[in-house]
Amino acid sequence: MLSIRNLQSGYGRIQALHGIDVDVAEGEIITLIGANGAGKTTLLMTICGKPRASQGEIVFEGEEITRLPTFQIARRGIAHAPEGRRIFPRMTVRENLQMGAAVTPPQYFTDDLDRVLTLFPRLRERLDQRGGTLSGGEQQMLAIGRALMGRPRLLMLDEPSLGLAPLVVRQIFQIIREINREQKVTVFLVEQNAFHALKLAHRAYVMVNGRIAMSGTGEQLLADPAVRAAYLEGGHPAAEETEEAR
């Protein structure tokens, strides 16, 4: 569905991606993990054309999108809940969701809104509240909901668990799984929360300094000693792991 070949990109003279190859097949959940500054956000943003790729190509559903304007990439069915959530702060929750559906045919709106509000009941109570006044977790829900309002075929999520309480994190991951299974949306997930994200993933990539260092199924990477040492053992005590395994 999405295939990225030898992608290079960066900011001005600073190069952040040094030749990335990533494939996402229809129906998959792909997880990308990596340390701070590895280039994960840059990869997702480059797929959307901000910044532009300096080398390489991005093919989505058989069509090259490397040089398309950002809004056209979005209209091809790629939704992005970006880093920092980027809720429109002075618009209400409803308006934020309407913006998510800005380029979908209006007849879907009521049903889609209902579906998103069923996934995130908290948002229903806050429809007329300004986005900027939501809590962090609510903003994250809104960011995902807004992305879903565009009826995407590919949903890209940049650290949806950032700053959230463990319980909410679990909820969010549960919902990502649901979206993938029930709404048949392909998911490209960037996470620091490597344990949950790898559990969820069909396949996963590890990024180090702007390069893909490793890839495999979620279980393979979870079992890999190097991955465990770098991304799991520190932040995720074994207790959580066993609890999750039950």
Partner 1 sequence: MEYFIQQLINGISLGAIYGLIAIGYTMVYGIIGMINFAHGEIYMIGAFVSLIGFLFMGVLGISYIPLALFLVLLMAMLFTAIYGWAIERIAYRPLRGSVKLAPLISAIGMSIVLQNYVQLTQGARVKPLQPIIQGGFELSGANADFHVRLSYLQIVIVLLTIALMSIFTYVITRTPLGRAQRATEQDMTMASLLGINVDRIISTTFVMGAALAAVAGLMVTLYYGVIDFYIGFIAGMKAFTAAVLGGIGSLPGAMLGGLLIGLIEAFWSGYFSIGYKDVAAFSILVLVLIFRPTGLLGKPEVEKV
Q: Does 151 engage in binding with partner 1 (CB under 8 A)?
A: no
Q: Does 14 engage in binding with ligand ATP (CB under 6 A)?
A: yes
Tell which positions 41-80 bind Mg ion, by CB under 5 A. Answer: 41
Site size toward Mg ion, by CB under 5 A: 2
Please select the residue that binds partner 1; options are 137, 150, 160, 218, rule is CB under 8 A: 150
14 binds, among partner 1, Mg ion, ligand ATP, none (CB under 5 to 8 A by kind): ligand ATP
The residue behind tokens 């809940």 is 81
Please select the residue that binds partner 1; options are 37, 89, 166, 235, rule is CB under 8 A: 89
Tell which positions 222-241 bind Mg ion, by CB under 5 A. Answer: none
137 binds, among Mg ion, partner 1, ligand ATP, none (CB under 5 to 8 A by kind): none
Tell which positions 25-84 bind ligand ATP, by CB under 6 A. Answer: 34, 36-42, 83
Please select the residue that binds partner 1; options are 40, 126, 146, 203, rule is CB under 8 A: 146
Instruction: Return d(Cα 119, Cα 96) in angstroms, integer.
Output: 16
Q: Does 40 engage in binding with partner 1 (CB under 8 A)?
A: no
* DSSP for the chain, written as a single string: -EEEEEEEEEETTEEEEEEEEEEE-TT-EEEEEE-TTSSHHHHHHHHTTSSPEEEEEEEETTEE-TTS-HHHHHHTTEEEE-TT----TTSBHHHHHHHHTTTS-GGGHHHHHHHHHHH-HHHHHTTTSBGGGS-HHHHHHHHHHHHHHT--SEEEEE-TTTT--HHHHHHHHHHHHHHHHHS--EEEEEES-HHHHHHH-SEEEEEETTEEEEEEEHHHHHH-HHHIIIIITTTS-HHHHHHHH-
Q: Which is nearer to partner 1, 82 or 137 (CB)?
A: 82
34 binds, among partner 1, ligand ATP, Mg ion, none (CB under 5 to 8 A by kind): ligand ATP
My answer on whether omega of the bond before 105 falls inside 30° of 0, hence cis, is: no
Check if the beta carbon of residue 161 is closer than 8 Å to that of residue 173. Answer: yes
Q: Does 135 engage in binding with partner 1 (CB under 8 A)?
A: no
CB 243 → partner 1: shortest distance, Å?
A: 36
Q: List interacting residues with Mg ion (CB under 5 A).
A: 41, 83
| Binding region for partner 1 (CB under 8 A) | 48, 50, 69-72, 74-75, 79-80, 82, 84, 86, 88-91, 95, 98-100, 102-103, 146, 150
